[in-house]
Structure 1
């Protein structure tokens, strides 16, 4: 078996993007991969394609195996351009008999590429297509994370092609989870979930239950980003179960933005109070931490303590932006509190509490406001706030993972 043959007759023909550092606002400091798979059978099938910037990489890998014109079917599990950006060029070269996708996938592809004459073959959950020695079956996974999303299962090899689910933005020359440090892979898998799938957690839970009921003999989980799961499938499934259930750890995050360091001093005092209770705490300055990395920590933290100075009767800009981003991802099962300094109007703490209430966080304290520079007594009050937060984390953590 060569390094790109993931099972007999099934080849990885994707591309590794070593250079990408931003993925529509998501920091990708370890790059990513765009995974595509070629199944050699009586009906040769290409499962997904790659971003248009890497279409030549994919076609080069295919040509090393076969003449692309011999490909009979193309399966599109998801129409987003990082998976379909090279589809139009591939269609010109391959001219497949069938372009297999979900009903919403057909609509999405037509909206993206405006080709009504492509040979669409619409499938739904439970449908099967024979390739010869192999059979592909399909599972619609709407809103994970687009309406068009679906999984493709190769029964005979036990490979579940999962599009974005179970993916990681991780550039490696290795193709499997047991070839890369597992901690590194899981960190990127958690970041992917926290920033892409978090708000769809109820649908993730339903999908996991559905797959369990289907009793599929899964030997590999092959996402469209990152490494393929073969040795740690149980671990990533268990992690998705935990994340989609909003299970949390006994950990607090103190997330803040400061102007003249008064709010920073308060943040440090709050963190000190939390730590004194024996609760681990992360002190996170929004100016030097990317919002997508912060969301990775939010995923499993029990307490979110937010701090901002007041600026122009509102919040500082990094905090305002982070709240907008976090609100869209809908974290749950968390407690919250707020603090901040001000000069004359002092709306920030109220606005932080309102934002957390809108997200249905359990606000355990009205918070602390300090005018201009905190005194020793003010900081002592911040320590006490931290202690109340720490006590709440220890007393009320019903879903500890």
Structure 2
């Protein structure tokens, strides 16, 4: 403590509250379970929560900036002197203070398997029939969590298949079944893998903390789903090796303490559920392929495609009457992404005609518009030559 304020020997009120709240995860009782039964001698209860960032490192960064202990709420209440910083460093200080003042602290609950999860996965299995293999894999992980009374563990998964087969939709359905958040990142449009995983120091223009770390902070658990969409299409600047950066995220030995270059605080990303999608696995380095459990997703056909088509219409239709088998069969002639586009256009045709139900005529008109087969006239004032 500084000589200017010798009376503040004890931590401020806010810090005392935090020190009382951050108990060891092993000491945290099971919520809603009442008083837990005594454990056998020598047995340790599985932790229900983990710290997703290093709180001590966070406080050290604040002390380095202030040149003294950070006083939480008392900084404003007591009018304590504040450091004079550049705009970039001030933005970083604001982020550090926001993180330090977050009432949730660093602890986030882990996911534990339950029958509710398994029931939801069974429903997802019906609505995503071409993803049965991966959904069953998740279901077995949930069953193992129930049996062992330990947190859910899911290996990093790669969904390999052609565009438009529903990989993103299935990933969202899995996250919803597990009752956890999902952060989808398009790798095809990402030009900075370092920013994605670990952020940049303030010496970089427009520096900010890692996108993945921000997603973890915004989630309600330590195990949100991270969807790396089109991981085979990573775009990056000339001097960066994106897959080398990504490797840290896929290695459990490294991902439990990944240093955020902006905050200079380690984050534990090891419990995140990582689902990647790709169209061409040959574009991925061998060291990335080795760390992903690959599940090939075939385009849905026959009865599976009819099931998916009916689900797409039901989700998009709202007050529209669910169409009969004839309309569904007429729609089920493309991949799911194209079907979704045609359904939205067909619903517009029906609404424009004042109807609350789809017809085959609506579907045919929407299909012509969607696939560009409608007859096109000359553009502008130029007339076609005979």
Could you tell me the TM-score, scaled by structure 2's length?
Answer: 0.29
More helix by share: 2
Higher relative CO (Cα under 8 Å, sequence separation at least 6) belongs to 2
Larger radius of gyration: 2
Question: Which of the pair is proportionally richer in strand?
Answer: 1
